Chains A and B, each alone.
Chain A
């Protein structure tokens, strides 16, 4: 949907001018999910109402609700993902309800935004994309947000080392936090299932200038990561290079950038980039 109709100019325009668009992440609406009970109840009401109205209904679906909140039309995602079919659904709804066009009711905004966190946290944005279209989804890159607390940031830094040429191995807990997300776009995104055969990040101070220390980081990893949720023996292998600027007296990290130099998975190549927010 994202790479297809939801990137189509006609669909985007129709949604903004004539509808109130909203998406619901199923995981958030299940038992234990992040949404409040009232929101979950509304999701269930719509699903049951669609079923009762003998509309197509399911967990991965497009539903059209009338302005008073009743399910009046729907499409299974396999159909909705065909741009012309989705445009047809939108246009027939507009005609049927005689919708008056206007401005988007909610201002468009980046949907992948940094999570709320303590001001002294280090917020890292990660992008991963297939480089050759093999072994991974390749419609568009995927993103992650990683937040390191001040204590976790301190574990990235050296103890008692402050001269060019000094080196250290990054605390394994922290390198695991970072490297466990070094996999290409796949169906499975449960990082608790990832298993490292090995992983390491080594840092070396290359300069100290005006109280700012710069370290070069090199590392590598080998990690089992299944494409789907069933074990398939697929393995990520990657080498990593990056740079980190920090202040030793305050133990504050000013910037961190890490990228894969070479990375393979499932017979294809991919790239990962991590950067700290300014």
Chain B
């Protein structure tokens, strides 16, 4: 095989590879159907383990906590913080 043939063959191989990769990518994109989207939504949503905060019986306000504490002779646990601990945006 002379030099020119080698260059032509290499170029042809590159074109075939590029087309194959492109087809594979297009095929992957078109596979993003409704079932895939629904599955991905479920995968990304918080799990019960990540929502253990919800297992605590939080009072709705400091004054409500103080009222319940007084009525039931219990101490208040008050956590003050920046951001939204309930959504995690903090």
Q: Find chain A residues with CB under 8 A from B80 CB.
A: 23-24, 26, 29, 43, 59-61, 63
Whether the Cβ atoms of B61 and A189 lie closer than 8 Å is no
B76 touches A19 (CB 8 A): yes
Q: Are B75 and A66 in contact (CB under 8 A)?
A: yes
Residue contact A110 to B78, C-beta cutoff 8 Å: no
Ordered by A's residue number, 9 sampled pairs between the chains whose C-beta atoms are within 8 Å are A16-B56, A35-B61, A43-B80, A65-B76, A67-B76, A105-B57, A111-B58, A144-B89, A275-B41
The answer for the CA separation of A129 and B85 in the assembled complex, in Å, is 15
Residue of B nearest to A45 (CB): B62
Known: A42-B66, A65-B76. A23 touches B44 (CB 8 A): no
Proximity string of chain B (70-90) to chain A, C-beta cutoff 8 Å, 1 when within and 0 when not? 101111111111111111111
Stretch at the interface among A94-102, A167-175, A220-228: A94-102
Q: Interface readout for A31-57 with B: 1 if CB under 8 Å, 0 if not?
A: 000010011001100100000000000
**Number of contacting residues on B, CB 8 A?**
51
In the complex, chain A residues whose CB is within 8 Å of the CB of B50: 140-141
- Asked if A196 is an interface residue, CB under 8 A from chain B, the answer is no
Q: With A46-B62, A108-B57, A259-B44 as given contacts, are A64 and B37 in contact (CB-CB < 8 Å)?
A: no
Q: How far is the CA of A242 from the CA of B38 in the complex (A)?
A: 9
Q: Provide the residues of chain B in CB contact with A16, threshold 8 Å.
A: 55-57
Cβ contact within 8 Å between B87 and A26: no
Q: Taking beta carbons and an 8 Å cutoff, which residues of B are in contact with A?
A: 29, 32, 34, 37-38, 40-41, 43-46, 49-66, 68-70, 72-90
CB pair A105 B81 closer than 8 Å: no
A127 with B57, Cβ < 8 A, contacts A15-B77, A22-B78, A42-B62 known: no
- Chain A positions within 8 Å of B34 at CB level: 243, 257
| A248 beta carbon closer than 8 Å to chain B | no
Binds B, one of A1-9, A152-160, A197-205, A230-238: A1-9
Inter-chain CA distance A90–B56, complex, in Å, is 14
A106: which of B58, B85, B87 is its contact (CB, 8 Å)? Answer: B58
Docked pose: A59 CA to B7 CA in angstroms: 70
Residues of chain A within 8 A of B62, CB atoms compared: 22, 24, 39, 42-43, 46
| Residues in B neighbouring A243, C-beta threshold 8 A | 34, 37
The reply to whether B75 and A143 form a contact with Cβ atoms under 8 Å apart is: no
A6 to chain B, nearest CB (A): 5
- A273 adjacent to B61 (CB under 8 Å): no
CB-CB nearest in chain A for B40: A259
Query: What are the residues of chain B within 8 A of A66 when measuring CB–CB?
Result: 75
* A67 adjacent to B74 (CB under 8 Å): yes
Contacts of A129 in B (CB 8 A): 44
- Tell me how far the C-beta of B50 lies from the nearest C-beta in chain A, rounded to whole angstroms: 4
CB <8 Å contact, B78 and A108: no
Inter-chain contact B56/A15, CB cutoff 8 Å:
yes
